[in-house]
Structure 1
Amino acid sequence: MWNHNYYVYITTNPNKTVLYVGVTNDIRVRLLQHKQNSATQKSFTGKYYCYNLIYYEHFTHIEHAIEREKEIKKWRREKKNALIESTNPNWIFLNNEVED
Protein backbone atom coordinates (compact mmCIF):
# COMPACT_ATOMS: atom_id res chain seq x y z
CA MET A 1 0.00 0.00 0.00
CA TRP A 2 1.34 3.40 -1.00
CA ASN A 3 1.60 6.10 1.63
CA HIS A 4 0.28 9.35 0.18
CA ASN A 5 0.61 12.77 1.75
CA TYR A 6 -1.73 15.66 1.09
CA TYR A 7 -2.10 18.85 3.06
CA VAL A 8 -4.75 21.48 3.50
CA TYR A 9 -2.99 24.59 4.70
CA ILE A 10 -3.57 28.22 5.59
CA THR A 11 -0.98 30.91 4.94
CA THR A 12 -1.02 34.57 5.84
CA ASN A 13 0.90 37.73 5.06
CA PRO A 14 3.53 39.19 7.45
CA ASN A 15 0.92 41.44 9.11
CA LYS A 16 -1.51 38.52 9.54
CA THR A 17 -4.36 40.38 7.84
CA VAL A 18 -4.94 38.16 4.78
CA LEU A 19 -5.60 34.40 4.73
CA TYR A 20 -5.13 31.90 1.92
CA VAL A 21 -6.44 28.32 2.04
CA GLY A 22 -4.85 25.76 -0.27
CA VAL A 23 -4.22 22.06 -0.84
CA THR A 24 -1.00 20.38 -1.97
CA ASN A 25 0.83 17.07 -2.05
CA ASP A 26 4.18 18.71 -1.20
CA ILE A 27 3.84 21.43 1.39
CA ARG A 28 7.55 22.33 1.40
CA VAL A 29 7.62 22.98 -2.33
CA ARG A 30 4.30 24.81 -2.26
CA LEU A 31 5.44 27.20 0.48
CA LEU A 32 8.61 27.91 -1.47
CA GLN A 33 6.51 28.67 -4.56
CA HIS A 34 4.34 31.08 -2.55
CA LYS A 35 7.48 32.83 -1.24
CA GLN A 36 9.02 33.07 -4.72
CA ASN A 37 5.80 34.61 -6.11
CA SER A 38 5.60 37.27 -3.40
CA ALA A 39 5.25 40.84 -4.68
CA THR A 40 4.03 39.60 -8.06
CA GLN A 41 0.56 40.05 -9.45
CA LYS A 42 0.56 36.47 -10.83
CA SER A 43 -1.34 34.96 -7.95
CA PHE A 44 -3.37 35.83 -4.86
CA THR A 45 -0.59 34.65 -2.57
CA GLY A 46 1.97 36.69 -4.49
CA LYS A 47 -0.10 39.84 -4.58
CA TYR A 48 -0.84 39.71 -0.84
CA TYR A 49 2.45 38.14 0.39
CA CYS A 50 0.68 35.07 1.80
CA TYR A 51 3.63 32.76 2.30
CA ASN A 52 3.67 32.33 6.10
CA LEU A 53 2.22 28.98 7.16
CA ILE A 54 -0.04 29.23 10.21
CA TYR A 55 -2.14 26.06 9.97
CA TYR A 56 -2.12 22.69 8.20
CA GLU A 57 -3.85 19.32 8.24
CA HIS A 58 -2.48 16.06 6.84
CA PHE A 59 -4.49 13.61 4.70
CA THR A 60 -3.69 10.34 2.95
CA HIS A 61 -6.44 10.65 0.32
CA ILE A 62 -6.59 13.61 -2.07
CA GLU A 63 -10.40 13.48 -2.16
CA HIS A 64 -10.56 14.11 1.59
CA ALA A 65 -8.05 16.95 1.37
CA ILE A 66 -9.95 18.67 -1.45
CA GLU A 67 -13.24 18.24 0.40
CA ARG A 68 -11.74 19.83 3.53
CA GLU A 69 -10.18 22.69 1.56
CA LYS A 70 -13.54 23.51 -0.03
CA GLU A 71 -15.22 23.36 3.38
CA ILE A 72 -12.75 25.78 5.00
CA LYS A 73 -12.81 28.18 2.04
CA LYS A 74 -16.56 28.67 2.55
CA TRP A 75 -16.11 29.70 6.18
CA ARG A 76 -16.26 33.26 7.47
CA ARG A 77 -13.01 34.81 8.69
CA GLU A 78 -13.98 34.36 12.36
CA LYS A 79 -14.38 30.60 11.95
CA LYS A 80 -11.03 30.33 10.11
CA ASN A 81 -9.38 32.33 12.90
CA ALA A 82 -10.84 29.93 15.49
CA LEU A 83 -9.52 26.93 13.53
CA ILE A 84 -6.03 28.43 13.36
CA GLU A 85 -6.09 29.33 17.06
CA SER A 86 -7.19 25.80 18.03
CA THR A 87 -3.65 24.59 17.29
CA ASN A 88 -1.67 27.82 16.92
CA PRO A 89 -3.10 30.40 19.36
CA ASN A 90 -0.27 32.91 18.80
CA TRP A 91 -0.28 32.57 15.00
CA ILE A 92 3.38 31.55 14.97
CA PHE A 93 4.73 31.03 11.45
CA LEU A 94 5.18 27.27 11.02
CA ASN A 95 7.24 27.20 7.82
CA ASN A 96 10.28 25.80 9.61
CA GLU A 97 8.20 22.89 10.93
CA VAL A 98 7.69 21.56 7.42
CA GLU A 99 10.77 22.86 5.61
CA ASP A 100 14.16 21.14 5.65
Structure 2
Amino acid sequence: MPIERNPCVYILASGHYGTTYIGVTSNLMQRLGQHREGVTKGFTSRYTVHRLVHFEMFGDMERAIAREKQLKNWKRPWKINLINGANPEWRDLAVGLGFPPLAPRVRRDGP
Protein backbone atom coordinates (compact mmCIF):
# COMPACT_ATOMS: atom_id res chain seq x y z
CA MET A 1 0.00 0.00 0.00
CA PRO A 2 1.48 3.40 -0.95
CA ILE A 3 2.27 5.91 1.76
CA GLU A 4 -0.11 8.85 1.71
CA ARG A 5 1.72 12.14 1.20
CA ASN A 6 0.33 15.42 2.53
CA PRO A 7 2.77 18.22 1.64
CA CYS A 8 2.77 20.85 4.34
CA VAL A 9 4.65 23.99 5.40
CA TYR A 10 4.73 24.54 9.14
CA ILE A 11 5.98 27.11 11.62
CA LEU A 12 7.17 26.08 15.07
CA ALA A 13 7.82 28.52 17.92
CA SER A 14 9.54 28.34 21.28
CA GLY A 15 6.65 30.25 22.86
CA HIS A 16 4.44 33.31 22.40
CA TYR A 17 6.41 35.66 20.10
CA GLY A 18 9.41 33.37 20.59
CA THR A 19 12.02 31.93 18.28
CA THR A 20 10.49 30.50 15.10
CA TYR A 21 11.40 27.74 12.68
CA ILE A 22 9.88 27.13 9.24
CA GLY A 23 9.89 23.66 7.71
CA VAL A 24 8.31 21.56 4.99
CA THR A 25 7.25 17.92 5.17
CA SER A 26 5.10 15.32 3.48
CA ASN A 27 4.01 13.89 6.85
CA LEU A 28 3.23 16.56 9.46
CA MET A 29 2.34 14.16 12.28
CA GLN A 30 5.56 12.18 11.94
CA ARG A 31 7.66 15.34 11.64
CA LEU A 32 6.05 16.93 14.72
CA GLY A 33 6.83 13.78 16.68
CA GLN A 34 10.46 13.97 15.58
CA HIS A 35 10.73 17.62 16.64
CA ARG A 36 9.08 17.01 20.01
CA GLU A 37 11.22 13.95 20.77
CA GLY A 38 14.42 15.74 19.70
CA VAL A 39 15.24 12.92 17.26
CA THR A 40 17.13 15.23 14.93
CA LYS A 41 19.72 17.41 16.59
CA GLY A 42 19.81 20.97 15.38
CA PHE A 43 18.09 24.32 15.66
CA THR A 44 14.70 23.17 16.99
CA SER A 45 16.14 20.95 19.72
CA ARG A 46 18.87 23.43 20.67
CA TYR A 47 16.39 26.31 21.11
CA THR A 48 13.37 24.22 22.25
CA VAL A 49 11.26 25.24 19.25
CA HIS A 50 8.49 22.62 19.42
CA ARG A 51 5.14 24.50 19.48
CA LEU A 52 3.20 24.24 16.18
CA VAL A 53 1.79 27.75 15.65
CA HIS A 54 0.95 27.69 11.92
CA PHE A 55 0.69 25.20 9.08
CA GLU A 56 -0.51 25.18 5.47
CA MET A 57 -1.39 22.06 3.48
CA PHE A 58 -0.62 21.77 -0.24
CA GLY A 59 -1.62 19.42 -3.04
CA ASP A 60 1.96 18.84 -4.18
CA MET A 61 5.44 19.12 -2.72
CA GLU A 62 6.68 21.60 -5.32
CA ARG A 63 4.15 24.22 -4.15
CA ALA A 64 4.91 23.47 -0.50
CA ILE A 65 8.66 23.94 -1.05
CA ALA A 66 8.03 27.19 -2.94
CA ARG A 67 5.93 28.48 -0.04
CA GLU A 68 8.59 27.42 2.49
CA LYS A 69 11.24 29.37 0.57
CA GLN A 70 8.91 32.38 0.38
CA LEU A 71 8.24 32.36 4.13
CA LYS A 72 11.92 31.89 5.00
CA ASN A 73 12.68 35.06 3.03
CA TRP A 74 10.04 37.08 4.91
CA LYS A 75 10.99 39.55 7.60
CA ARG A 76 10.13 38.55 11.17
CA PRO A 77 7.21 41.04 11.52
CA TRP A 78 5.57 39.53 8.42
CA LYS A 79 5.85 36.02 9.90
CA ILE A 80 4.42 37.25 13.21
CA ASN A 81 1.49 38.85 11.37
CA LEU A 82 0.83 35.58 9.52
CA ILE A 83 0.75 33.63 12.80
CA ASN A 84 -1.33 36.27 14.60
CA GLY A 85 -3.88 36.25 11.76
CA ALA A 86 -5.09 32.74 12.54
CA ASN A 87 -3.54 31.99 15.94
CA PRO A 88 -3.20 35.24 17.96
CA GLU A 89 -2.62 33.33 21.23
CA TRP A 90 0.15 31.27 19.60
CA ARG A 91 -1.58 28.12 20.87
CA ASP A 92 0.14 24.82 20.16
CA LEU A 93 -1.95 23.56 17.23
CA ALA A 94 -0.42 20.09 17.60
CA VAL A 95 -2.67 19.52 20.63
CA GLY A 96 -5.68 19.74 18.30
CA LEU A 97 -4.01 17.12 16.10
CA GLY A 98 -3.78 14.66 19.00
CA PHE A 99 -0.42 15.49 20.59
CA PRO A 100 -0.23 15.99 24.36
CA PRO A 101 0.37 19.54 25.61
CA LEU A 102 4.00 20.51 26.03
CA ALA A 103 5.39 21.02 29.52
CA PRO A 104 5.84 24.68 30.47
CA ARG A 105 9.18 26.01 29.32
CA VAL A 106 11.79 26.57 32.01
CA ARG A 107 14.02 29.60 31.58
CA ARG A 108 17.73 28.92 31.85
CA ASP A 109 18.69 32.52 32.64
CA GLY A 110 16.67 33.01 35.81
CA PRO A 111 13.09 32.88 37.12
Q: Same fold (TM over 0.5)?
A: yes
Paired-residue identity, %: 38
Which structure's CA Rg is the greater one?
2
Q: Which runs of 5+ in 2 are unaligned?
A: 100-111
Q: TM-score, normalising length from structure 1?
A: 0.87
Greater shift, 46-55 or 11-20, is seen at: 11-20
User: Aligned with 2:49: secondary structure?
Assistant: coil
- The answer to whether the 8 Å contact 2:10/2:54 transfers is yes
Matching residue of 1:54: 53
- The answer to whether the 8 Å contact 1:4/1:60 transfers is no
Give runs of ≥4 in structure 1 deviating > 2 Å. 97-100
Q: How do residues 39-78 of structure 1 correspond to structure 2 at under 5 angstroms?
A: 42-78=41-77
| Number of equivalences | 96
Aligned partners of 2:15 and 2:90: how far apart in 1? 11
Q: Which runs of 5+ in 1 are unaligned?
A: none
Greater shift, 18-27 or 4-13, is seen at: 4-13
Q: TM-score, normalising length from structure 2?
A: 0.79
Aligned partners of 1:67 and 1:88: how far apart in 2? 23
User: Aligned with 1:22: secondary structure?
Assistant: strand
Q: How do residues 70-89 of structure 1 correspond to structure 2 at under 5 angstroms?
A: 70-89=69-88
AA matched with 1:21: I
